[in-house]
Amino acid sequence: MLSPKKVKFRKQQKGKRKGTASRGNTLNYGDFGLQSAQCGWLTTRQIEAARVTMTRHIKRGGKIWIRIFPDKPICKKPAETRMGKGKGAPEDWVAVIQPGRILYEMEGVTRETAVEAFRLAAHKLPLRTKFIAREGAGESAGA
């Protein structure tokens, strides 16, 4: 699972999930991408589940880039604990996602394979997503 090696502060506040992505909203590496259409949090398990699904579908045929990283700690108090006595211990890591953010990129596969792989991966994610492609991508890609 993805997680930071070291952070400056162990705990963070929740923050606001609003606005659109001003960074990470264009294809940089691959020909095809999966773009977020709404805001939310993606946990390490969700990111990994989508990656495994895509990798299995393309059968080591292409290359996949993960464009997000979970760097926000989520804290939880133990079950059946009374209120107060401070914030709970860090439990998990999440990536904060804004609309327009590219989640994954792929190259080296046909357009049909990429569409299906991203469709399967989108089922593992709690956000609405959409498929995007470069102009002229996928016509001459080797399978």
Number of domains in the chain: 1
Q: Is the pLDDT of residue 125 over 80?
A: yes
pLDDT of residue 103: 97
Is residue 38 included in any domain, yes or no? Answer: yes
The string of pLDDT tens digits covering residues 64-99 is 999 999 999 999 999 999 999 999 999 999 999 999
Is residue 5 included in any domain, yes or no? Answer: no
Is residue 12 included in any domain, yes or no? Answer: no
Is residue 25 included in any domain, yes or no? Answer: no
The string of pLDDT tens digits covering residues 94-121 is 999 999 999 999 999 999 999 999 999 9
Is residue 21 included in any domain, yes or no? Answer: no
Which domain does 53 fall in, by range?
32-77+89-133
Q: Please give the structure tokens belonging to residue 39.
A: 């805001």
- Selection from 82, 143, 134 nearest residue 112 by Cα: 143
**pLDDT band, residue 131 (cuts 50/70/90):** very high
Percent of residues, the chain, with pLDDT higher than 90: 90
Is residue 105 included in any domain, yes or no? Answer: yes
What is the model's pTM?
Answer: 0.89
129: domain CATH number is: 3.90.1170.10
Is residue 98 included in any domain, yes or no? Answer: yes
The string of pLDDT tens digits covering residues 2-32 is 999 999 999 999 999 889 999 999 999 999 9
pLDDT of residue 115: 96
* Cβ atoms of 121 and 104 closer than 8 Å: yes
